[in-house]
């Protein structure tokens, strides 16, 4: 009984969860289209005895898996969306599986699988020791567009949590004691008047001119925002042909800052810039907020528990082959990026795959440049988070090198460490109410009376799944009725990929 039993269960079942993570890596799907991964995880968790609730917050690939009853209620946050254009083989040279296709360049094939591994391990421990409480796995889609958890939060599914735990693939083993930036994703659409660009330009009012003038204004604004703030944009529609004055044009902005209040202020100013551009060009402008992510509130109490349990889980080692592969990947990365990464984490210059467990106190209170919708959850309930070594130091997320790492044994080893740390931390939280009391006391102090309110418009809905894919239909006929065997939870794709594809299609058609 106890933690040793939890660790033993994970060690004995590593092979199956490695296959699960590999399977999801082999079938990457982008935000709100992650039907393969969500269906697979629901099947595995349902077979393990969890109650499944689907389509959370209107997102068809979002779900919750729950086991147990009563307090405390502990959540594990999982993700499984891939990134467009990052298809890559497990290779130290650029080699796409599918040209221009998606790939798991942020390691969400590992992120979600470790959560499933952790909650099933703890479900078995709860049964064996008759522990009271409720554990939930949250299948969260679309983290890469920073809105999946926001739609779920708007439905209130995190409100009764006593706390939540999560992790992310990284280049070292440490607790995430720094924040991440708040961010708004907003699109601006300009409407003008079309005309012949040479024959009657005076009759036209160019929506593209408005977009360009807006971007000029935003670029001048960069000097007058707080340090660390970020303004990114892409023109998503610039017209159809050079000899036509564009009557429609659009630009998509990300605005980031260390707090939601600062993001709100930046958005108000950018809205004025858009209005000014419309006035200058005699066009009309409208905007739509696509996502709004809160800054992350770290919770020291939960992070300390997760770090302790990461250490209890034990250091792992990498083989000579894994180290050689890591060094080959690092050679493809700009040396200044590698050096900066090693300096940031205090990693010896000769070490590519750190195995030690760290707190990195020097990072506490800093705000990382990126954003995540985990921030939304962290303003609803205390959230603890770790990172583990799943890629060599210097390899950046959202790169082909990251995709290669997260489909390799390097990534899988880091994933299992994360699963162990989360499972053992759940065990501590179920056994000791004082941990949760301290975590919530810290949470109340940090939020300082501010209540979470979703930053997205009330009428904004998640995108619907695209039309059903064409699957190979395999039928077992019984009195003319198609019968699907769901006896297998998950196996390598080579043995049950056809059955899984058929199950996905049946799920879509029901």
- CATH 3.40.630.10 residue ranges for the chain: 3-178+296-447
**What pLDDT digit, counting tens, does each position of 333-347 carry?**
998 888 888 887 777
Tell me which residue of 433, 491, 426, 315 sits closest to 6, measured CA to CA.
Answer: 426
- Of residues 495 and 502, which shows the higher confidence score? 502
**What pLDDT digit, counting tens, does each position of 259-295 carry?**
999 999 999 999 999 999 999 999 999 999 999 999 9
Confidence grade of residue 500 (pLDDT, cut at 50, 70, 90):
very low
Confidence grade of residue 298 (pLDDT, cut at 50, 70, 90):
very high
Confidence grade of residue 469 (pLDDT, cut at 50, 70, 90):
very low
Give residue 207's pLDDT.
Answer: 99
- To the nearest whole percent, how much of the chain has pLDDT over 90? 84
Phi first, then psi, for residue 86 (nearest 5°) are: -115, 30
Give residue 468's pLDDT.
Answer: 62
Give residue 303's pLDDT.
Answer: 97
Give residue 21's pLDDT.
Answer: 99
> Residue 15's CB: how many other CB atoms inside 10 A?
11
**What pLDDT digit, counting tens, does each position of 214-249 carry?**
999 999 999 999 999 999 999 999 999 999 999 999
Burial 218-247 (b: 16+ CB within 10 A, else e): beebeeebeeebbbebeeebebeeeeebbb
Q: Do 143 and 83 contact (CB within 8 A), yes or no?
A: no
Minimum mean pLDDT range among 120-129, 341-350, 486-495 = 486-495
Starting at the edge strand found earlier in the chain, the sheet holding 182-191 runs: 230-237, 248-257, 182-191, 284-293
Q: What average pLDDT does this structure show over 457-471?
A: 79
Burial 48-58 (b: 16+ CB within 10 A, else e): bebeeeeebbe
Per DSSP, the residues of 119-176 read HHHHHHHHHHHT--EEEEEEEE--GGGT-HHHHHHHTTTTTT-SEEEEEEEESSEEE-
Q: What average pLDDT does this structure show over 479-489?
A: 32
At the topology level of CATH, where does 3-178+296-447 sit?
Answer: Aminopeptidase (3.40.630)
**What pLDDT digit, counting tens, does each position of 412-447 carry?**
999 999 999 999 999 999 999 999 999 999 999 999
Give residue 346's pLDDT.
Answer: 76
Q: Which CATH class is domain 182-293?
A: alpha beta
Give residue 508's pLDDT.
Answer: 45
- CATH 3.30.70.360 residue ranges for the chain: 182-293
Angstrom CA distances, 61 to 56, 137, 139, stand at 8, 14, 8
Residues in contact with 16: Cβ distance below 8 Å, sequence separation at least 6, in sequence order: 489, 490
Give residue 308's pLDDT.
Answer: 97
Give residue 482's pLDDT.
Answer: 31
Confidence grade of residue 1 (pLDDT, cut at 50, 70, 90):
low
Exposed, middle or buried by CB within 10 Å (0-12, 13-18, 19+), for 203? exposed
**What pLDDT digit, counting tens, does each position of 144-191 carry?**
999 999 999 999 999 999 999 999 999 999 999 999 999 999 999 999
Secondary structure of 212-235 in the HEC alphabet? Answer: HHHHHHHHHHHHHCCCCCEEEEEE
Tell me which residue of 156, 159, 114 sits closest to 137, measured CA to CA.
Answer: 114
């Amino acid at each position: 009984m106890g933690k040793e039993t939890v660790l033993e269960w994970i060690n004995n079942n590593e092979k199956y969860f490695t296959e699960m993570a590999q399977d999801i890596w082999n079938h990457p799907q982008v935000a709100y289209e992650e039907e393969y991964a969500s269906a697979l995880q629901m099947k595995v968790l349902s077979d393990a005895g969890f109650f499944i609730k689907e389509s959370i917050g209107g997102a068809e690939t979002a779900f919750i898996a729950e086991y147990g009853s009563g307090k405390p209620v502990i959540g594990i946050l999982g993700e499984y969306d891939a990134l467009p254009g990052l298809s890559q083989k497990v290779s130290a040279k650029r080699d796409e599986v599918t040209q221009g296709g998606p790939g798991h360049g942020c390691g969400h094939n590992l992120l979600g699988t470790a959560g499933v591994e952790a909650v099933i391990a703890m479900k078995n421990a709860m049964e064996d020791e008759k522990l009271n409480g409720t554990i939930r796995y949250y299948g969260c889609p679309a983290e890469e567009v920073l809105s999946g958890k926001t739609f779920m939060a708007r439905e209130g599914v995190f409100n009764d949590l006593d706390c939540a735990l999560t992790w992310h693939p990284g280049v070292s083993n440490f607790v995430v004691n720094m924040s991440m930036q708040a961010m708004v994703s907003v699109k601006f659409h300009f409407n003008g008047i079309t005309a012949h660009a040479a024959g009657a330009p005076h009759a036209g009012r160019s929506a593209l001119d408005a977009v360009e003038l807006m971007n000029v204004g935003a670029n001048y604004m960069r000097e007058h925002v707080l340090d660390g703030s970020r303004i990114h944009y892409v023109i998503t529609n610039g017209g159809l042909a050079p000899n036509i004055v564009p009557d429609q044009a659009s630009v998509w902005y990300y605005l980031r800052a260390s707090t939601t209040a600062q993001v709100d202020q930046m958005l108000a100013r950018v809205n004025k810039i858009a209005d000014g551009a419309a006035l200058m060009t005699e066009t009309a402008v409208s905007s739509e907020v696509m996502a709004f992510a809160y800054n992350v509130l770290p919770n020291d109490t939960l992070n300390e528990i997760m770090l302790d349990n990461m250490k209890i889980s034990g250091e792992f080692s990498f083989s000579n082959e894994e180290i050689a592969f890591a060094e080959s990947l690092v050679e493809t990365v700009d040396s200044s990026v590698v050096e900066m990464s090693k300096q940031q984490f205090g990693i010896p210059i000769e070490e590519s795959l750190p195995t030690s467990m760290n707190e990195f106190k020097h990072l506490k209170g800093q705000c990382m440049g990126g954003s995540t919708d985990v921030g939304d959850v962290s303003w609803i309930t205390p959230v603890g988070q770790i990172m583990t070594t799943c890629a060599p130091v210097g390899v950046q997320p959202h790169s082909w090198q990251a995709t290669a790492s997260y489909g390799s044994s390097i990534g899988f080893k880091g994933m299992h460490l994360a699963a162990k740390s989360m499972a053992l931390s759940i065990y501590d939280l179920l056994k000791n109410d004082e941990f949760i009391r301290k975590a919530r006391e810290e949470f109340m102090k940090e939020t300082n009376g501010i209540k979470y309110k979703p930053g997205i418009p009330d009428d904004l809905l998640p995108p619907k799944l695209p039309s059903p894919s064409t699957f190979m239909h395999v039928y077992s006929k019984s009195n003319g009725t198609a019968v699907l065997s769901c006896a297998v939870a998950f196996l390598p794709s080579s043995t049950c990929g056809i059955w899984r594809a058929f199950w996905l299609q049946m799920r879509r058609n029901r």
